[in-house]
Copies of this chain bind each other. A is one copy, B any other.
C-alpha cells in the first residue's frame, strides 16, 4: 500500500512550484551579506578547522584516539610528518581568514603572507609548552576528583581536558588577531563538551573543569594556576561598555579575573571586571558581581526551604 502511494508521490510533478521557488531563493541571495558565501573570496570552512583540531590533539595526546600507533624508534618521522602537514593546512586556513578580513575592510592584503607565516609558526611552536601545561591540568584533575582512577582515564574521558586544550590553541590565534578560526575552534569544543570558553580568555596552568556542561568563560576573563570550576559556572560580563554613540565597544575588558587556587562550585555566576582573590572558594549558585579578597569563602545562605512532609 505504502509503496503505491509512494509512487504517486514521485510522479506528482514538483515543477508547478519549483521553478518559482528557485527564483525566490536565488532572489534572497542577491544582497544578503553575512549569510551568503557565494562568490569572490573564501572563508575557512568547518571541515578544515575540524581536521586541524584533530591533528593538534593527536600531537598533544599521541596515540589516545587509537587511529594511529607510534613507535619510539620512529617517532621523529611521525611527528615531523604531522607537523609538516599541519604547517600546510594551517597556513592555508590562516591565510584565508586573514585575507577574508582584508576584503571585509577593503584594505590591501599586503602583509597577509607575513602575518600568516607568523601566526602559523607561533601556533606550532606553542605545542611543546601546551603539552607541558596540559600535564599539569591532568594532574590537577587527578588530584581533585575522587572518581578519577588514572591519568589516562582523564585524557580519554574528561570533557574539560578536550575543551581546554582546544581553547589554548585558539588563544594563540586570537592573539595574532586571526579572525573566525579561533571562535570556530572553541565552538567545536563547546558543541562536543558543553563548555564554552572564549578564545580570548587567558588560562594559566593546572585548570580543572569538572563535568563542565554549561560552563561559559568570557572573552576577557583571566584564570590563574590551579583554578577549579564545576558545571554550570558562568564567568561573564555584567554590562557592555558602549561608545559615545551607544554602540557596544567590541573587545573591551568586562570579565572577571580569577586568581590562583580558586574553586568555583556548580552553577555559580561571576560577572564583571572584578577579581576573585587567590585561594577563594565560591559556593554553588552564588551570584557575584564584586571583587573578593584572597582566601575568601563565599556561599549563599541556605534559604529556609519550604518543606512539606506528609503526616505519618
Contacts and interface: CB of A to CB of B under 8 A. Distances in A.
Given A214-B231, A300-B303, A301-B304, A251 B88 contact: no
A191 B191 CA distance: 8
B116 A9 contact: yes
B38 A67 contact: no
A106 interface: no
Given A43-B64, A80-B76, A157-B183, A298 B304 contact: no
Nearest to A249: B146
Given A5-B99, A236-B266, 15 more contacts: A5-B95, A5-B109, A6-B92, A9-B113, A18-B73, A18-B83, A18-B84, A22-B79, A25-B131, A26-B76, A35-B131, A147-B198, A157-B184, A159-B187, A301-B306
B288 A305 contact: yes
B128 A27 contact: yes
A244 to B, nearest CB: 16
B298 A305 contact: yes
A307 interface: yes
Contact of A128 (B25, B215, B219, B306): B25
Nearest to A241: B146
A134 interface: yes
12 contacts: A2-B7, A2-B109, A18-B80, A21-B128, A29-B75, A34-B138, A35-B134, A39-B70, A71-B84, A78-B84, A234-B267, A287-B300
Nearest to A12: B117
Contact of A301 (B21, B159, B303): B303
Question: Which of A25, A121, A144, A232 gathers the greatest number of chain B CB atoms within 10 Å?
Answer: A25
A278 to B, nearest CB: 10
Nearest to A111: B5
Interface in A287-312: 287-289, 292-310, 312
Contact of A298 (B198, B249, B307): B307
Interface pairs A-B: 4 shortest CB-CB: A45-B66, A3-B3, A34-B151, A77-B80
A285 interface: yes
Contacts of A232: 214, 232, 234, 267
Interface in A73-110: 73-81, 83-84, 87-88, 91-92, 95, 99-100, 104, 109
B67 A24 contact: no
Contacts of A132: 28
B250 A147 contact: yes
A60 to B, nearest CB: 7
A21 B190 contact: no
B80 A65 contact: no
